[in-house]
Amino acid sequence: MDMKQLIEKFPAQMREAMTIGETFKATSWPHEIKNVLVTGLGGSGIGGTIVSQLCEKEMPIPFLVNKDYFMPSFVNKHSLVVVSSYSGNTEETLQAMDNAIKQGAKVVCVSSGGKTVELAKQHGLDYILIPGGMPPRSCYGYSSTQLFYILHAFKLIGDTFKSSLKKAIELIESESQHIKTASHKLASDLIGKIPVIYSASNNEGVVIRFRQQVQENGKMLCWHHVFPELTHNELVGWTQPHNDIAVVLFRDKDDFFRTSKRMDICKEIFGRYTPHIYEVWSKGGSPIEKAIYLIHFGDWTSWYLSEIRNIDCTEVKVIDYLKSEMAKLN
């Protein structure tokens, strides 16, 4: 199945992911959970970043994301650590998992197999098995959806996420043609330019996902930043014409009004230095719906970039080379 087909099937993937999540039953844990940490990288880890932001107003305890070989020292028996590795063989995540076990955390794994599931079985850990054999970045729905179910299993969030996910699926299905048309237009406008992606800070996870997709699928360099932080530093960098830069603003009508005003003012400032400024407005009635809409829009944009540029969006030879060189250290 190629990347276009995988993106087409994203709504179906979400439905299947919910079915998988409904079967998860956490084993008992004698200690109070006082913090949550998701450890994972790339397409496997971005779900942690996005879900942490979507749940921050409901979660009664801190929810952090780890993207390294190590566990923070605070991780202990009062920590719920979710190990997210689609392949099950990500070396950084495996070492972090080992550290989490040694530090006494409650560990739950989300993976399609590999060493992660082997270790989970060996140590008697909870794990959720998701379908394998696809690029990790194409399986956001499988990986991220399980995080909601894990949090719910530990009574850290309610069950309203279920109806929001269902509505999000219906939304992207009903908006399918519009999303394809608008994302193709955006992709066409981004050809030959360096995308600079901005959003309000509460949408940073979604923007990071888009950046990663542009980089992996589109094989293009780009960067991102968020409001209001960028207005205290990066804004000062806009001092000369940059015809090769295209600003993409991910926006939401429910953005905090002062943040929204900053975005309007900065849009005018950016316009002094580049004519290439584009806005993508979210759709949906809940933060989950809006996030899923923007994620799907971004995924299509990244695929159209690869199609227009006539490149293989699934090719990751440079990462394979890096892994082969790192393997020499063992």
Please give the Cα distance from 122 to 117 (Å, whole number).
8
Catalytic residues: 216, 232, 323
Please give the Cα distance from 8 to 3 (Å, whole number).
8
Distances (CA, A) of 50 to 45, 89, 143, 147, 164: 9, 22, 11, 10, 15
* 3-class DSSP state of 66: strand
Please give the Cα distance from 320 to 303 (Å, whole number).
21
| DSSP secondary structure letter of residue 273 | T
> DSSP E strands: which ranges in the chain?
35-39, 63-66, 79-85, 106-111, 126-129, 194-200, 223-227, 245-251, 277-281
Tokens 């360096």 -> residue: 194
Contact 172, 11 (CB under 8 A): yes
Contact 77, 142 (CB under 8 A): no
Please give the Cα distance from 20 to 146 (Å, whole number).
8
Provide the phi-psi class of 258: left if phi over 0, else alpha when psi is between -120 and 50, else beta. alpha
